[in-house]
Structure 1
Amino acid sequence: MSHPKFVSFSRNGSTGYGLLIETGVVDLSARHGSKCPTLREVIEAGALTLLAEDAKSLPADFPLSEVTYEIPIPQPEKLICVGVNFPDRNEEYKDGQSAPANPSLFIRFPRSFTGHDQPLIRPPESPQLDYEGEIVIVIGKGGRRIPEAQALDHVAALSLCNEGTIRDWVRHAKFNVTQGKNFDRTGSIGPWLVPYVDENQLADIELKTRVNGEVRQSDRTSRMIFSFRKIINYISTFTTLVPGDVIVTGTPTGAGARFDPPIWLKPGDVVEVEADGIGILRNTIADEV
């Protein structure tokens, strides 16, 4: 079964959101924007399924070629990323430690991401732009100290992320990676949001990253060290999750930093992140102008 695809976009100088159909985009923001200015408010209202039902019989308002993809949730309150979350990725650290008891977390800012089919931007400060393909969960029902058993009831939608990283800048200081994770437009989220329906969408799906058609990362979510349930439970222990919060859930082994010598992304490269049932997030690379 194909799930609805909700896109955030810019067109003719304004931003909006809509439902992607075969012939183009049904402009939902034109119809519902006064109550729900962005997909964040749609999610907060619990209206994704309702809007998809209402829109499926409508014609496209404009072709896809007229829009620029934006990140699906334009201004989430929180954008939290999980660090080492696949067994082979843990082994890369060669510190002799088994899988950690708790997930490593860091924060990214929305402007560090761009949309599908947009270039990731390599800054002049470093050539070490790297890729990390990941699955995104978007919170639909907020909560604090959410039990693992109920955790997935709090998920509204799924998406993909290329959690682009400036590698030398994550090692600038002793205790954090924030600087190397937050250069403007070094990562991407998208192409769209797929409504979350049941656990089969997440339990054992393949996640892969290709660079110029070559598979660099490939693993399955069933092998994650910290399950989606555990991630939600752990994060909600120390902070209240709210609708529209974005959680980026970890990348498999195979990033460019792990090659000998490392293979950094360069202008002209094409990176694709793909997951079963969610889609393909595609970006080129460009130097900052």
Structure 2
Amino acid sequence: MKLVRHGARGAERPGILDADGRVRDLSAHVSDISGTTLTTHGLQALRVLDPETLPLVHGIPQQDLRLGPCVAGVGKFIGVGLNYADHAAEAGMDVPTEPILFTKWTSCITGPDEDLHLPKGSTATDWEVELGIVIGDGGQDIAQNQAHRHIAGFCVINDISERDWQLRQGGTWDKGKGHDGFGPIGPWLVTLDEIPDPRALRLWLAVDGHRYQDGTTATMVFGPEEIVSYASRFTTLHPGDVIATGTPPGVGMGQKPPVYLRSGQVMELGIDGLGQQRQRVV
């Protein structure tokens, strides 16, 4: 299933894509794409529905039908740093021996195609296309061989980052990662059963048509199951929590000289099977 949230900002409604890629409304069955909707039991209740019998939503998604963040009510937005060996090399840092975890404040979450407003005083706002994990059944101290049972599905994330704030102004990553608009997620949440191998997905990002990132999740240091298990050692994961799993090489900071976002530019990014995003920088 491909689950979406459609409509005006702040008033999004739950939906599902049909076989033609059109949105069908789920409002009669669930209140939102969040929490208990994403548990094993909640997703099973949606699987028995025939999308063709649900109300058709007017418009083409991401054209004349706005899509919001594909998950609502996110409790935790966790990031994983330096999780691609080739990205660690471009950053001049050692490949980590265990996952590097940080948080993105949930107020940064936005839809997949919203304008990115450069923060006041920003000089080094950067891009990072990432595979996102959405938690289904929650848990703590999850065994790695059971972690797949706790994953509802996957989505595209742009882990937008202000590098000066992240690395040079006090050395804490969170303030460089959590500004408003720094967490586009979507366009849709693709359930686990539709992604047979999350370690074999191509992901890419372009700015004004120039492709900076073009990688594969095969070069991840830690895969989704390892990440979910590891994160659950330090915090209880809840339905609807989101984890950004790291980015391949090609970020602006890694260019020689570095290249950062400017007003008027357009970012486009995507992951095989998970859709695409587009953000205009203003």
Q: TM-score, normalised by structure 1?
A: 0.88
In structure 2, relative to structure 1, the CA distance for the partners of 1:131 and 1:51 (3 Å cut) is: same
SS in 1 for 2:236: coil
Residues 1:19 and 2:16 aligned together: yes
Alignment: residue pair count: 278
Question: Does 2:212 match 1:239?
Answer: no
Q: 1:37, 1:57 → 2: CA distance?
A: 19
Matched, 1:101 2:97: yes
Pick closer, same or farther for the CA change 1:199–1:114 going to 2, 3 Å: closer
Task: Give the counterpart of 2:3 among 2, 6, 28.
Answer: 6
Among 85, 92, 113, the alignment partner of 1:87 is 85
- CA drift of 1:205 comes to 1.4
CA distance in 2, matches of 1:130, 1:102: 24
Q: Using the alignment, how far apart are the partners of 2:34 and 2:178 within structure 1?
A: 23
Whether contact under 8 Å (2:87, 2:248) holds in the other structure is yes
- How far, CA to CA, are the matches of 1:243 and 1:197 in structure 2? 17
Render the CA deviation track for 1:88-147: whole Å, top value 9, x for unaligned.
11113335x4x2211111111222121122111211221322110000010111111111
2:245 paired with 1:266: no
C-alpha distance in 1 between matches for 2:274 and 2:169: 36
1:56 alignment counterpart:
51
Change (3 A) 1:187 1:13: closer
Tell me the C-alpha RMSD between the 2 structures: 2.1
Distance 1:61 1:220, change over 3 A: closer
1:171-228 deviation digits (Å, cap 9, x = unpaired):
2444411111111113311111111116624031111112222221122212111111
Give the drift of 1:68.
2.5
Letter of the structure 2 residue corresponding to residue 20 of structure 1: L
Change (3 A) 1:38 1:220: closer
Alpha-carbon distance in 1 for matches of 2:84, 2:279: 24
> Amino acid of the residue matched to residue 42 of structure 2?
A
Residue of structure 2 aligned with 1:136, choices 132, 138, 148: 132
Q: Distance in 1 between matches of 2:170 and 2:119?
A: 22
Seq. identity, %: 33
Asked if the contact 1:165–1:187 (Cα under 8 Å) also holds between the matched residues in 2, the reply is: no
Is the CA contact 2:83–2:96 (under 8 Å) kept in the aligned structure 1?
no
TM-score by length of structure 2 reads 0.90
| 3-state SS of 1:32 partner | coil
Pairing 1:43–2:38 present: yes
Q: Which residue of 2 aligns with 1:254?
A: 250
Question: Deviation of residue 148 (structure 1)?
Answer: 1.1
Which ranges in structure 1 are unaligned for 5 or more consecutive residues?
Answer: none
Structure 2 vs 1, CA of residues 202 and 12 (structure 1 numbering), >3 Å: closer, same or farther?
closer
2: CA distance, partners of 1:252 / 1:67: 30
* 1:167 and 2:163 matched: yes
Quick one: which amino acid aligns to residue 201 of structure 2?
A: I
Structure 1 residue ranges (4+ consecutive) displaced by more than 6 angstroms after TM superposition: none
Per-residue deviation, 1:11: 3.3
What CA distance in whole angstroms lies between the structure 2 residues aligned with 1:5 and 1:46?
A: 17
